[in-house]
Amino acid sequence: MTNQLKIIPLGGLGEIGLNMMVVEYGGSLIIIDSGLMFPEDYMLGVDFVIPNMDYIRQHKSKVAGILLTHAHEDHIGAIPYLLREVNVPIYGTSFTLGVLQHKLEEHDLLAAVSLNEIFPRQKLKLGEFEIEFIRVSHSVVDGVGIAIRTPLGTVIHTGDFKISHTNSGDMMTDVNRFARYGEEGVLVLLSDSTNVEKEGYTISDKQIGETLERITAKSTGRMIVAPFASSIIRIQQMIDIAFRRGSKIIFNGRSIEETVGIAKRLGYLNIPDGIETEVEHLDEFPDNRIVIITTGSQGEPMSALARMASGIHKQVKIRKGDTVILSSKFIPGNEKAIAKIINNLYRRGADVIYEKISDIHVSGHAFQEELKLMIHLTKPRYFIPIHGEYRHLTLHARLAEQTGIPGERILLAENGQSVIFDESGGRVGGNVATGRVLIDGKGIGDVGKSILKERRVLSEEGFVAVTLAFDEETGIIVYGPEIVSRGFVFETETGHLLDDAVCVILEVVEDVKPETPNRIEVIRSRMQSDLRKYFNFTIKRRPVILPFILEV
């Protein structure tokens, strides 16, 4: 039987985040990215989510390497967990590896990992695959797409990209290289679908820089700017503006400080001598000569900007005349938290600039015309939309059909669906194990649907704990019943409710005779059932009932 080429998404298709792709041929398998996503509203207490890696675990002997497209968390955040399953060489650009290195240090994994720096247009042989990395422009520096030569044809994975002609030359998408592959022949294009709903072209970083310059020129007080921590281009623009104004610049907030440190060390930031100062020296300079670059653009509750807005930041007190710029997109789900910060900043006298009132953020993902251009450049025989919710994948498939790709060669797949190529062509095949693994503290996958349901009930209804002790020989109550509630009712205001609940418990105990087999378990079960009915009847609430029954 002829070897098959398999492309298997383990995350990132049908959702935003968790990006992880397997490319497999014969005895070789490579992994492209391994990202996380932040918990959805119903995932109470969960820190973040990673892809299910069962398929990697089952085929670990085949894995030849891990290829990284760029340094965003939704592409590298799950790497520490992937390395627990398979420790193989990792390949990425210098900035991507710099960010990953810091992450691996936090997990005590750095010493055992092989990190290999790659460069755009560099070629690499891994198992059955010949690989070339192609520069792409994105909202983080040092992004790449990947060309993978296989015995059945070339696979192009764009990574996250946009096509901008106004970035610096070493950060522009290498359209010539994509076009060269198009001339040679591309079996299948896997292309970023995130912004397929947006018509036209992305606006340029140059335009954003001009907007920031105008806002800064009008400001008479301190400038406080909150970009995405990974947005090195935006940070450099603010450094340049500060330098032209003769201002001092302050980096404040853990993620900003870490990213700036990595970018400075690797030469991705140019900070003129003498311009940078520490937040402790803030009051030594005039307000109109201060630019603070900080964290908190997404309303994170303990970020530096959130602490400034609420008045608990130790060094930075917001006052009249300050201008605060949220130079980032509002990520869905964060709107309320961001709005709270904006309102608090206004209360303290600041002027606040954000995406709804000014163009101070540019997306790193291609709009429709750029997506069409990528298809025209690469001329793929088959097309697979990736990186997006199902509506994004569907709309991108329709866009590809408009460019001339026949519908039967557009392969719309979701997580876990294998896309198979052989001498007869390409098709969507069977499913492999996939899904989401919840990370809660040091626990990996030990929080499931039942735990989340319990947390939801506790968060909505509270709990009632009952403590009761029996004499082991006589079966007579020697302690309690004592009732404690949390998140249910104010005990001082509705004391009669809990007093009557004691009567319910005593009735249960009286009904279950001392000679009853498994008496304690029967009492526990009856107590939970009768108390639930009682609280539902009297107050229309359903708290979790926690009975603690002892025999002494």
Q: Which residues are catalytic?
A: 192, 365
41 exposure class (CB count in 10 Å sphere: 0-12, 13-18, 19+): exposed
Residues near 466 by beta carbon (within 8 Å), at least 6 away in sequence: 480, 481, 482, 483, 505, 527, 531, 545, 546, 547, 548
Q: Which residues, including other chains, have CB under 8 Å from residue 426's CB and lie 6 or more apart?
A: 187, 188, 381, 382, 409, 411, 419, 420
Which residues have a Cβ under 8 Å from the Cβ of 486 and sit 6 or more positions away? 462, 463, 465
The answer to whether 20 and 31 are in contact (CB under 8 A) is yes
Distance CA(425)–CA(266), nearest Å, equals 44
CB neighbourhood size of 489 (10 A): 18
Beta-bridged to residue 293, according to DSSP, are 225, 251
Question: How is residue 478 written in tokens?
Answer: 């020697």
CA 534 – CA 48 distance, rounded (Å):
38
CB-CB contact of 252 with 304 (8 Å): yes
Separation of alpha carbons 113 and 362, rounded Å:
35
Q: Tell me, what amino acid is at 18?
A: L
**What Cα–Cα distance (Å) separates residue 485 from each residue in 70, 192, 492, 530?**
49, 50, 11, 16
Alpha carbons 377 and 182: distance in angstroms, whole number: 6
Q: Which residue type occupies 95?
A: F
